[in-house]
Amino acid sequence: MALDVTRRARLLVVLIVVLVFGGLAIFLWLRGRHTQTIVWLPTQESASPVPTASFSPAAVLESPATPQPSAATPAVSPSLEIPSETPPPQLDQSAATPSPLAGSYVGKLKLIIPVVGVRPDQLLDTFADARSEGRVHDAIDIPAPAGTPVVAVADGELIKLFQSERGGTTIYQLSPDRKLVFYYAHLQRYADGIAPGKFVKQGEVIGYVGDTGNAGAGNFHLHFSISVLADPKRYWEGTNINPYPLLRQ
C-alpha cells in the first residue's frame, strides 16, 4: 500500500513537471511567433511607401515639371543690352571743348583763389579732365586740408545752397552783373550766417573744404566752376568756362 502511494506521488510530480515545462515551451513558442509578426509587419509596410508608378522612367521623361530647352528659343547673350527708354544726357559741346569765352575775361575779371592759403602756382588745370559716365570735369579741383575756409571769389549774391548727390554741400553765387555763376562744391559745411539771397563781398568766408558728394572719403578739395549765363533765372544752364586762367592771372 505504501509503495502505491509513493508511485502515485512520483507520477504526480512527473506530470506536474511535464505540464510546467510543456506550458513554458508553448508560451515561448507563442511569444516567438508574436515577435516575428511584429518585426515582419513594419518591414512589409515600409517595403513600398510610395507607389512604384511615380518612379517610372517613362513618367520622369514625360513629366512637364522638367522642361527641356527649346531649339526655337535662342539663348540671350550676356553681352546684349536692352536699350534704355531714357536716353543718356548729351554732353554740352561747348563744355567738352574749353570755351574761348574764358580768354575774354582774362585781365578784366578780378577774381581771388577761393581757398585760403592756396597760391596761384599750386593750381592745376583739370577743366578738360574726364569724369565718370562720359562727363567732362568742366571745373578745377583745389586740394586743401579739411576745414580750410572757402571764400567768395568776387562780390555777388548767393542764389542757392544745395545738397547735391554729386557735389555734396554746394553754393551757387551770382556775379553783380548777373552774367556769371560761381559754383562751390564738396564743402564740409556752410559758414555761419550764410543763406540764399545774402550778398557777400570778395574774400568773405562762405564755407569750408570737405569731401561731401562723390569726392571720395578723405579726398578733401574744393570743386570750383564758372559758367556764363544767357538767362540769370536759369543759372544751371550756363556755358562753362575754364577758371584756371582767371585764377592764375
CB atoms within 10 A of CB 37: 9
Phi, psi of 97 (to 5 degrees): -115, 125
Q: Of 233, 131, 219, 141, whose CA–CA distance to 181 is shortest? A: 233
Q: Which of 24-38, 92-106, 127-141, 207-221 has the highest mean pLDDT?
A: 207-221
- Tell me what the pLDDT averaged over the chain comes to: 75
**What mean pLDDT comes out for the span 79-90?**
34
What pLDDT is recorded for position 134?
61
pLDDT in tens, 126-170: 887 776 666 676 889 999 999 999 999 999 999 999 999 989 999
What pLDDT is recorded for position 80?
32
Q: Can you give the pTM of this predicted structure?
A: 0.58
CB atoms within 10 A of CB 206: 23
**pLDDT band with cut points at 50, 70 and 90 for residue 57:** very low
Cα–Cα distance measured from residue 48 to residue 24, given in angstroms and rounded to the nearest whole number:
38
What pLDDT is recorded for position 232?
86
What pLDDT is recorded for position 96?
36
What would the grid cell of residue 52 be? Answer: 512604384
**What mean pLDDT comes out for the span 96-107?**
56
Phi, psi of 44 (to 5 degrees): -65, -40
What pLDDT is recorded for position 233?
87
**pLDDT band with cut points at 50, 70 and 90 for residue 74:** very low
Cα–Cα distance measured from residue 35 to residue 40, given in angstroms and rounded to the nearest whole number:
9
Q: 10-14, 48-52, 107-111, 146-150: lowest mean pLDDT where?
A: 48-52
- The fold adopted by the segment(s) 98-248 is Glucose Permease (Domain IIA) (2.70.70)
pLDDT in tens, 189-225: 999 999 999 999 999 999 999 999 999 999 999 999 9
What pLDDT is recorded for position 226?
94
Q: Which residues, 6 or more positions from 167, have their beta carbon under 8 angstroms from its beta carbon?
A: 183, 185, 186, 212, 213, 214, 223
**pLDDT band with cut points at 50, 70 and 90 for residue 3:** low
What would the grid cell of residue 71 be? Answer: 531649339
What pLDDT is recorded for position 101?
61
Rounded to 10 degrees, what is the CA torsion of 60, 63, 66, 67? Answer: 130
